[in-house]
Amino acid sequence: MINIPKGTKDVLPSQSHLWQFVEETARKTAELFSFKEIRTPVFEHTELFLRGVGDTTDIVTKEMYTFLDKGNRSITLKPEGTAGVARSFIENGMAGGVLPAKMYYLIPAFRYERPQAGRLREFHQFGVELYGASGAQADAEVIILADIFLKKLGLKQVKLQINSIGCKECRAAYHAALKEYFRPHLEEMCPDCNARFEKNPMRIIDCKDERCRKITAGAPRILDYLCPDCASHFDEVKTLLTEAGIAYEINPSIVRGLDYYSRTVFEFVTSAAGAQGTVCGGGRYDSLLEQMGEKSVPAVGFAAGMERLLMVMEAENAPMPPMSAPTCYFAGMDAPSRQKAFSLATELRKAGISCEVDLMNRSIKAQFKYADKVGANYVAVIGGNELLEGAAQVKNMKDSTSEKVKFEELAQYLFKD
Ligand code: HAM
């Protein structure tokens, strides 16, 4: 037998309604804020992610699904959604269109990571990106959107953590301070952090290696290095969140695993479902377009991991929608009645009533058993007598009452349910 690739998962028919519920909640919340859906390709030129996500990130250095296509082009399955949306924003001249441009997406994303609960190689994201607004209200708007989304999913234990990683100017002073702090410890630190020290010392703050984490605990904090503009931007974001009634914690160790961020960064975290506690992450990324060789346009956004959301919903016992069930199951006793059952089911389906009919040539008892299993609200039984009378015996499966209903009145009868 050929098994599913490591780090991927099937969404089975018994689970897909839960996915649909989360997706539907995502769409509705995004549209509450007038975000419109954008769909970009599953793969892009590798160069986009080298420039867009950043060549010192774990994603780019270790985790990308990159291959040469038959035309010898280097192609990468998207590891996240922001870079593809940025490419589309530029390519479609959206900077010259209506601003702010507000977009959302529901995508699969691919990262070659060590799989564990909540960490997959193919996973799914709901993300939003807002282009064109540099003020703190835009940061607050996307954070509030994420907060409403998570609350609509019934999550109560998820906490918002925020930080500011400043702009290029404040980060230059911060990088210098970090280098001074880490230099005497380099020999005790992991090889990755030794490379990060040269290329992007802030990445060290994010290292998961126990040796590095101990050293990082005493490192200088970016918040002490913010320039006056970045500090007042951060103050304004905090005020807006407080005014919106959103609780937050300041976590100076959030630096995010992607290179494009500046100023506000945030994560929604929980310990309800094990080690992979970050269900949503994002921030402002005013210099991404510039990094890609374009005129800069301020932007802010986030992405939430669908698999992690579903795990946390289960762990928190959040109310889950039931699986959909047919309104009526048509049971036929003999060949002519089965034929009538089939044609009635077709007629009612055309009228918009969900129906099921026996396709397995089962006995009447087995048909009832099946109707019960799929949760049909009614079973309409047709036999010789019913054919003669032109009426079905309709059983209400909830209260076990039965009624004769004329074939031509079935739609009206079932619609009232
Ligand atoms: P990210 O923090 O890399 O940010 O991913 C966002 C979310 O995707 C995470 O919080 C997590 O829930 C989920 N996620 C990430 N990796 C995995 C994985 N291997 N398995 C399962 N879930 C995962 C971004 O992707 C940015 N593009 C977010 C953003 C949008 N920033 C601005 N705009």
User: Tens of pLDDT along 35-50?
Assistant: 999 999 999 999 999 9
Q: What is the pLDDT of residue 341?
A: 97
Q: What is the number of helices (H) and of strands (E) in the chain?
A: 15, 16
Provide the β-strand partners of residue 380. Answer: 330, 394
Choice from 8, 78, 123 to test ligand 1 binding pocket (greatest atom count within 8 A of CB): 123
DSSP SS3 for 84? helix
Selection from 204, 239, 202, 230 nearest residue 286 by Cα: 230
The domains of the chain, with CATH numbers, are 13-167+227-315 (3.30.930.10), 328-415 (3.40.50.800)
Task: Decide if 310 contacts 272 (C-beta within 8 A).
Answer: no
111 lines ligand 1 (CB under 6 A): yes
Q: What is the pLDDT of residue 53?
A: 87
310 lines ligand 1 (CB under 6 A): no
Residue showing tokens 């006056």: 228
Q: Which are the contacts of 58, defined by CB distance < 8 A and separation ≥ 6?
A: 257
Residue type, 224: D
54 lines ligand 1 (CB under 6 A): no
b vs e for 67-91, b when ≥16 Cβ sit within 10 Å of the residue's Cβ?
Answer: eeeeeeeeebbbbbbbbbbbbbbbe
Q: What is the pLDDT of residue 57?
A: 85
Choice from 8, 80, 142, 160 to test ligand 1 binding pocket (greatest atom count within 8 A of CB): 80
* Structure letter (DSSP) for residue 59: I
Q: Please state, in angstroms and rounded to a whole number, the distance separating the CA atoms of residues 131 and 14.
A: 38
Of ligand 1's atoms, which has the minimum distance to the CA of residue 127?
30
How far apart, in Å, are the Cα atoms of 313 and each of 16, 150, 316, 320?
Answer: 15, 10, 5, 8
* Structure letter (DSSP) for residue 116: B
Task: Decide if 124 contacts 307 (C-beta within 8 A).
Answer: yes
Q: Please state, in angstroms and rounded to a whole number, the distance separating the CA atoms of residues 317 and 324.
A: 20
- 140-189 pLDDT, tens digit per residue, is 999 999 999 999 999 999 999 999 999 999 989 999 999 999 999 999 99
Choice from 19, 63, 122, 125 to test ligand 1 binding pocket (greatest atom count within 8 A of CB): 125
Local confidence pLDDT in tens for the 417 residues of the chain: 999 999 999 999 999 999 999 999 999 999 999 999 999 999 999 999 998 888 878 888 899 999 999 999 999 999 999 999 999 999 999 999 999 999 999 999 999 999 999 999 999 999 999 999 999 999 999 999 999 999 999 999 999 999 999 999 998 999 999 999 999 999 999 998 998 888 888 889 888 888 898 999 899 999 999 999 999 999 999 999 999 999 999 999 898 878 889 999 999 999 887 777 899 999 999 999 998 999 999 999 999 999 999 999 999 999 999 999 999 999 999 999 999 999 999 999 999 999 999 999 999 999 999 999 999 999 999 999 999 999 999 999 999 999 999 999 999 999 865
Choice from 258, 259, 284, 285 to test ligand 1 binding pocket (greatest atom count within 8 A of CB): 258
Give the N- to C-terminal CA distance of the chain in Å, as an integer.
45
Q: What is the pLDDT of residue 240?
A: 98
CA of 280 to the centre of ligand 1 (A): 7
Ligand 1 atom 10: the closest Cα is on which residue?
Answer: 280
Q: Which are the contacts of 171, defined by CB distance < 8 A and separation ≥ 6?
A: 165, 202, 222, 225
CA of 82 to the centre of ligand 1 (A): 10
110 lines ligand 1 (CB under 6 A): no
Burial of 217 (0-12, 13-18, 19+ CB in 10 A): exposed
129 lines ligand 1 (CB under 6 A): yes
78 lines ligand 1 (CB under 6 A): no
Ligand 1 atom 13: the closest Cα is on which residue?
Answer: 305
Q: What is the pLDDT of residue 33?
A: 98
35 lines ligand 1 (CB under 6 A): no
Q: Residue 401, Cβ neighbours under 10 Å: how many?
A: 9
82 lines ligand 1 (CB under 6 A): yes
Residue showing tokens 């290095």: 225
DSSP H helices, 35-107, are 46-52, 58, 82-91
Q: What is the pLDDT of residue 338?
A: 97
DSSP SS3 for 273? coil
C-alpha dihedral, 315 to 317 to 318 to 322, nearest 10° = 110
Q: What is the pLDDT of residue 417?
A: 59
Selection from 265, 279, 267, 275 nearest residue 154 by Cα: 279
Q: Residue 209, Cβ neighbours under 10 Å: how many?
A: 15
CA of 258 to the centre of ligand 1 (A): 10
Q: Please state, in angstroms and rounded to a whole number, the distance separating the CA atoms of residues 330 and 340.
A: 9
